[in-house]
Structure 1
């Protein structure tokens, strides 16, 4: 398996990964990934036998800290084709991305996700570390952060998501009974 940065010709293969990985929700995730390509970030693919089988995207975002705005990244989406899931492809993509972002001087990377899974990759609940969620719809345990070497203790505050997350209604959980 080869991990590499997404190339311009990979967009349809990346779309297919998300359509397959997320089932009924795949269209929204694929559209979000397309919109996030406009942000300053990092998009990686996993290629196996010449075929894209996984994708992860890190998007430029901001932390509204008391001292100043801090440029950070948000990890979303990450997807792996169903026939090769549970083989470590998603974790490998995330680890590779975190290594690259650490070398680039990014201090913090955020995500919304399962703490049981993402804690294995170094993520921690953000609320107990002095960070505030960009939306109350995000469950506290799902609001997670990993601090990279450029992080400094004064870097606390509120995460501000890129506009694409709001436009695609991809923030937190909606209450279907509301």
Structure 2
């Protein structure tokens, strides 16, 4: 398996992967990724793919959001989405993508990475519930345990406050959990 930056030619393969991996929620996630991709610049954000046998089998994206800290706004990254094709899950592909992205971000000026996700999975990668670290979630719809953060070397103790998601997360209604319709 090879990990590399996503290329323009990967766009359709990544979209198909997200549709497959997220099932009923796949269209929202794929549309969110399409919008977020356009916000990534060489200095802000990252989109990686895992390739096996010439096929894209995994994807992770890190994009810029803000931490509303008492001193000033702080540029941070949000890990979302991450996906692996069902046939390649439970083989370390997702973990390798996340770790690879975090290593790249840690070499830069990124102080924090936030996400919404399963604490049992992401705690193995160093993420800790955000509330336990003095951070406030951007929506009450995010379960406390799912709101997680990882401090990188550029983090400074004064960097506390509220995560402010970038606009695409709100536009695509991809924040927290909605009540299910019956």
Counterpart among 70, 83, 86 of residue 82 in structure 1: 86
SS of match in other structure, 2:175 = coil
Which residue number corresponds to residue 11 of structure 2? 11
CA shift at 1:102, angstroms? Answer: 0.5
> Equivalent of 1:121, from 122, 125, 139?
125
Q: Confirm whether residue 152 of structure 1 aligns to residue 156 of structure 2.
A: yes
* SS of residue matched to 1:22: helix
Separation of aligned partners in 1, 2:181 and 2:26: 22
* Unmatched tracts of structure 1, length 5 or more: none
**Alpha-carbon distance between aligned partners in 1 of 2:163 and 2:38, rounded to the nearest angstrom:** 19
CA RMSD across the alignment: 1.1
- What 5-or-longer segments of structure 2 have no aligned partner? none
TM-score by length of 1: 0.98
Partners of 2:170 and 2:11 lie apart in 1 by 22
2:139 paired residue among 135, 153, 158: 135
Q: For residue 175 of structure 2, what is the aligned residue in structure 1? A: 171
Q: Give the TM-score, by structure 2 length.
A: 0.96
Give the aligned length: 178
Deviations 1:67-124 (CA, angstroms, capped at 9, x unpaired): 0100000000000000111100000000000000000120000000010110000000
Secondary structure at the counterpart of residue 14 of structure 2: helix
